Amino acid sequence: MKDYHDILTIKRARHGIIQLNRPEKMNALSHNLRAELFDALKDFEMDPEVKVIIIRGSGRAFSAGYDLSGISKSDDDRDYVERRSGLPNVGPIHPGQGQWPQHLLSGYWQIWECTKPVISQVHGYCLAGGTELATMCDLMFVAEDAIIGYPPVRAMTPVDIIYHPWQMHQKKVRELLYTGDSVTGREAVEIGWANRAVPVEKLCEVTEAFAERIANVDSPMLQMTKRQVNRVYEIMGMRTAMQVGGDIQELGRARPGGAEFGRIAREKGLKAALDWRDSPFGDYGSAPAGASKPAGAAW
């Protein structure tokens, strides 16, 4: 197994595990972490002994979102530009206007196209970009008390990847995206967003046992079944809808007031910007009971 910096890889009997490993930042999705994730995914894809892949997080969260540690820097800052150059090689490497959501979709579509079933194992916070990673997996097993939501729609932009209409009822889609509110893991199962919710202390055991259950089916059969299901959703327009949604995301970013979050972050710091966005709702950035904000993540 490779020696990664921001993830861990674990190989079990018939399944592999990719573990996001930035617990001090609640596994905020840095460019490097995503690059390592996709690299490990490809390695497990090529390993004939691995029949199922699990993606999970270290520490007290699956992922609190994309790493926004550079948002307080201007686009002209050389160090910031160099970090942008480190984007995972899944599409455009130097995104121009409107390319960010298309870049993300190109990356997560690798999970969709992976021939092996991929399960996301979600506990703690799963927010913003963290929900995109978890949702683009084939199956989603969650802790009952997980907090899952997309708060950036409150003041930043519409979602990067409009997966919601494919996961739940239209009315619930509107409720969540008009408010940026979250649901618990138990609620996520009730609305069709996740497969199973279990107590957090049983989550690893249940998820890995189900991975081994899937592994009872031979790999070529699993490959054909996954491809068959994928193609049905693609014919229904899922991929095109997500690409168009990315175009609208860019319009949202360019709207009057669309730069306000970034301006506050640059002038007063990311914490102040998160408080400005979330304090009217009394959650997330305004520090819900028992929680602390992960530095640099997209709450």
| pLDDT tens per residue, range 101-137 | 999 999 999 999 999 999 999 999 999 999 999 999 9
- Does a structural domain hold residue 293? no
User: Is 295 among the domain residues?
Assistant: no
State the residue range of the domain holding 89.
Answer: 7-286
Please, which residues bridge with residue 292 across strands?
A: none
Quote the number of domains for the chain.
1
SS3 145: coil
Residue 57 lies in a domain: yes
Which strand (E) or helix (H) includes residue 142? strand 139-143
Please indicate, yes or no, if residue 191 is contained in any of the structural domains. Answer: yes
For the entire predicted model, the pTM comes to: 0.90
- Which DSSP category does 143 fall into? E
Nearest to 269 by CA among 125, 52, 69, 62: 69
CATH code for position 15 = 3.90.226.10
Does some domain include residue 222? yes
Task: Provide the pLDDT for residue 117.
Answer: 98
pLDDT digits (tens, 9 = 90+) for 232-248: 999 999 999 999 999 99
Establish if 296 belongs to a structural domain: no
Map tokens 């966005």 to a residue. 277
Let me know if residue 150 belongs to a domain: yes
Contact 50/12 with Cβ under 8 angstroms?
no
Token pair, residue 279, equals 């304090």
Please write the tens of the pLDDT for every residue from 218-229.
999 999 999 999
Residue 1 lies in a domain: no
- With a CB cutoff of 8 Å and minimum separation 6, the contacts of 30 are 6, 22, 67, 69
